[in-house]
Each structure stands twice: as structure tokens, then as C-alpha cells.
Amino acid sequence: LLGSVLSNLLLVLGCAFFCGGLRYKEQNFSVDSVRASTSLLMLGMITLLLPAMLDITNTQLHEAASLTLSRVCSIILLLVYAGFLVFQLKTHTYLFEGNGGDSGTQGEKARVLPLDGDEEGGEEGGEDDDDDDDEEEVLGFWGSITWLAIITVFVSILSDYIVDTIEGAAVALHIPVAFVSTILLPIVGNAAEHAAAIIFAMKNKMELSIGVAVGSATQITLLAVPFCVTAAWAVGSPLSLDFAPFETCVFVFSVIGASSIMSDGKSNWLKGLVLMAAYAVLATAFLFHVDPPGIDGARWVNKDAKELANGTWIESGG
């Protein structure tokens, strides 16, 4: 879950800004819709920070305080997300509607960068994609629901296999389990969203592109994570929002970084490059992050990591 948020906010959004910026000098998008999403991400950031702060500062009234706080916060997040759906789909739909490419400074359309010496490359963009709005409907409502249910079953089955093999794969590859689960798996899992965000950005439909990336991160933070906590509560499993200090800091950095990049309602290839670089830095940090002892096989991966740091792993033929 954490890896999916990082991937969407930094890698997917960064690639969209970068690829869109290679074709357009500058692209604009609705600041109001971005502020709505980032405010929800900030709320999610607070709910993840508080349990970790209780644990770090040892200020809990009792041992179950962090777990109780996590469950209360999860219920609040679910209610807020329900309110956000009403806000997005009913009362303020105009804030989230794509502008069909009319994303330029002060009402002007974005200008296309010259490609391959094309002197007319500076013409206004966005008009060549009007035909995309007239695409024929491929699946109806019930057809979409049916295929969604079928795919969900297959994804659930495959997820079980992935969970069962992820730790063994990490040990075999001599890399931390956290790196595999937080970096590698989300990249593969978000491949469809990644491609969609880039395609929309290349068509100068930034509201749709940002909706794919930031909207997915918001959904995970305010729906998937608290739902997992409440579902675990229902079956008697002590799952909390305490992501450990390192993971919590990474989440905070990603939310603050993405929010600041989008705050002016403009995007270009440099902003995309910065977001991708930030993701690369965080991914490298996870590569050197020691797994908690509770993970099976972590002691072997940690042992290899320490030997690698001391320069003895390669000499021993590891």
C-alpha cells in the first residue's frame, strides 16, 4: 500500500509531467481539484504520523493506545472519503472535469514544442485530440461490472501467490523484502495507471492524468489503508497505522513533495524529472533499509546487507 502511494505520487506523476513536458512547453491544470486531493493526502499523512509519534516518543497511555488510535482514525478516514465522493461526483463535479486540453496560462492553450526541426511545432495544442472524445462505447455498465468481478478474482488468487513467494525471492536475490514489496511490486502493479497517465499527459489532458496518479494515491490512503485496518479489526487481527518511523517519513516526504510541485497548477518536464529523481532516491534508500526481525528470512537478507557494507559479501562468493 505504501509503495503504491509512492509510485503514484512520484513515479507515475513524474513520468506524466516529464512526457507531457517533452511535447508541451507548459501545461496547466485545475488548482482547485489538486488542492482537494492534496488536502485529503495531508489528512492521511497526519493519521499515519500520530501512531508512529506515540510509539517513538513512548507517550502511550497503554500498549494498545496506538492500535486504538489507528482504528478510530481509520473510521474517520473512511467517512471523509465517502464525503469526498459526494464532493467529487455530486456537489462539485465541475472542479474535476477535464478541460479537453484547454490548459494554458491565463486561459491560453499549451504550446507544442518543436519536434525534429518542425518550424510549426509552436502551434497551439489540444485541438488534435477532439476526436478522442467521440470514442464508441466498448462495454456497457453490466459488462464492465462482470469483467471487473472476474478480474478481481484472478488478481486475488495471484496476490496470494505473490505474498507467499516475495520473501523467498528477496532472500534469493539478496535484497531487502521492503525493497521488493515497496518498490518493485508497485511498479508492476501500477503499470496500467502509469501508461494511462502518460497517454493523457501527451494528449494535454492534465486533469485526467493527475486524476489517475493523485486520485489513486488518495484512494489508497483514505480507503484501502483504513479498510485494511478495520477489516483486520473485524477478524481480531491487530493491524495498526504505525508504518514504522522510516516508512512514515518516506510517506510524508512524498506527500509534501508532490503537493508542492502541483501547488501552482502548472507542469513541465523539469518538474517531472524532479519527481522521478525523488522516487529514485527513496527507492535507493529502501534498498539499504534493514527489514524488521519479524519478517521471515529478514535475518538472512540483513546479514547479506551487512556483509556487503563491510566489503566481505563479494569476497565470500555471495
pLDDT in tens, 216-231: 899 999 999 999 999 9
- The 3-class secondary structure across 152-205, one letter per residue, is HHHHHHHHHHHHHHHHHHHHHHCCCHHHHHHHHHHHHHCHHHHHHHHHHHHCCC
Backbone angles phi, psi at 176, to 5 degrees: -60, 145
H-assigned helices in the chain: 2-6, 13-23, 31-57, 65-86, 141-173, 177-179, 185-189, 191-202, 206-219, 225-234, 245-262, 269-287, 298-310
Instruction: Say if residue 279's pLDDT is above 90.
Output: yes
Whole-number pLDDT of residue 80: 94
Whole-number pLDDT of residue 100: 40
Model confidence at 106, pLDDT cuts 50, 70, 90, reads very low
Cα(78)–Cα(189) distance, rounded to whole angstroms? Answer: 24
Percent of the chain with pLDDT over 90: 26
Instruction: Say if residue 274's pLDDT is above 90.
Output: yes
Q: What pTM did the predictor assign? A: 0.76
Whole-number pLDDT of residue 317: 45
Query: Is 287 within 8 Å of 179 (Cβ atoms)?
Result: yes
Angle, CA of 138, 207 and 30, to the nearest 5°: 150
Whole-number pLDDT of residue 50: 86
Whole-number pLDDT of residue 256: 92
**Alpha carbon of 11 to those of 98, 112, 254: distances in Å?**
22, 23, 10
Cα(21)–Cα(26) distance, rounded to whole angstroms? Answer: 6
**Window from 29-33, 141-145, 240-244, 311-315 with minimum mean pLDDT:** 311-315
Percent of the chain with pLDDT over 70: 77
* Residue type at 74 in one-letter notation: S
Q: What is the mean pLDDT of the chain?
A: 78
